[in-house]
Amino acid sequence: MLHGCLILLFISGSLADLNIVSALAKLIRPLEGLPTNNKDFIQIASENGYKAEKHEVTTDDGYILTVHRIPPGSKCNKKTPLLVVHGLLLSSDCFVVSGPDAPGFVLAHECYDVWFGNVRGNYYSRRHETLDPDRDLEFWKFSVDEMGQFDIPAMIDYVLDTTNAETLNYIGYSQGGGSFFIMNSEKPEYADKINLFIGLAPATRHYYSKSVFDRFLMGAIYSLQAPLEASGIWEIASRGSLSQGTLEAVCREPLFTDTICNLVVSAMDSAHLGSITSETMRRMFEQIPAGTSTQNMARYGQAINELKFLKFNYGYEENLKVYGVAEPPEYDLEKTTMPVVIFHGKSDQIVDTRDLDWVVSQLPNVLEYVTMADPLWNHFDMAFSQYWKEQLFTTMEKYLNKYDNITLIEDR
């Protein structure tokens, strides 16, 4: 019953409106007058005693991305730069909203030079050199495919250029891991710039995903992509939309934080009561969903029906134009040649164990495939759990230290 109610919230926003395209518009178009108390990455870091920086990165196809950085303190020894990239409908904020033990602050406290990416289309990266996201559909004609082909390489190059380092380490959460695999398949030369890849439930195919909510929502958007875009619905679940604004308003009330808001997370993923604190839950829904394109959501809708990790399927005729073949080509996971460590939770309903087992079987250099000891560990725990440091970071740190072979270009 709860799943159905949440789907109606996201899909319709009104039980009386039976026109699904009009109803989806209510979901994803920003609404006036909804409460908001959002703090940005810089403010959240400052509240926790860290001085953060904001950088701008321009991709080869003109998207202007925001990258945040927490530089190492003056008493820290220099380490290999670390690039951390968020998941679907998230932003760099997801790594800092859970307080002093948030992943971003744990890494910064341990003296890593931490860079936090924001891919095209979220509220930090909603700009382009020539396209207007409010006027030009072309701005929104992207999916995780373009993130991997353009966004991730641009961020890697920027971090290396700025720090004068020769290589970096990369942590990818969910979509941030899937886009990394895409980059390696399309631009295998970037493997030489990465010492180590750490995947936190990296998302590729979703054939076995158990999330009823995700399967319904993404499947619906995939089926309706053309009429949605024709109706001017190019952006999904942006800040200020009905879904984000309603969840923020509800979860701000203490009475609902530990009940309704926990149930929302459980409906999307699986129940793990107490893992995400009430304060983190409140802050989560101030920041998420962070927005993406209709095409990207449709792309995930395609992924739930495929046993391979494929490029976006434009349809027979358009595939011939774009790819030169009738069917979308498969990404080559074997081109992810650097050392890899993968973390996964047994109760992850979004990235199912069987899908991730398949990914790991394709990768040529897996150092360790870590199943979290807590049997209730789910997809959201990978970024938001209060137990992140003790449950996950201890193993992660071992590999980050092993592959901390900092080499500065100026020192060669």
Residues 214 and 206: beta-carbon distance below 8 Å: yes
The residues that are catalytic are 174, 379
Identify any residues that bridge with 58 across adjacent strands, giving them in sequence order.
64
Select from 194, 91, 217, 250 the least CA-distant residue to 403.
194
Whole-angstrom Cα distance, residue 56 to residue 158?
A: 9
Residue position matching structure tokens 């449709």: 298
Radius of gyration from C-alpha coordinates of the chain: 20
Question: 3-class SS at 376?
Answer: coil
Query: What HEC string does 128-146 produce?
Result: ECCCCCCCCHHHHCCCHHH
DSSP secondary structure code for residue 327 in this structure? S
H-type helices in 232-315, by residue range? Answer: 242-251, 254-257, 260-268, 278-287, 294-303
Identify any residues that bridge with 55 across adjacent strands, giving them in sequence order.
67
C-alpha separations of 252 from 40, 48, 204, 258 in Å: 17, 20, 33, 11
344: phi then psi, degrees, rounded to nearest 5:
-150, 145
CA angle 400, 343, 164 (to 5 degrees): 30
Select from 116, 89, 91, 104 the least CA-distant residue to 45.
104
Cβ-proximal residues to 230 (8 Å cutoff; 6+ apart), any chain: none
Element (H, E) at 55: strand 53-58
Can you read off the two tokens belonging to residue 47? 């509240």
Query: Is residue 289 reached through a cis peptide bond, with omega within 30 degrees of 0 on the bond before it?
Result: yes
Cβ burial of 369 (10 Å; 0-12, 13-18, 19+) is middle
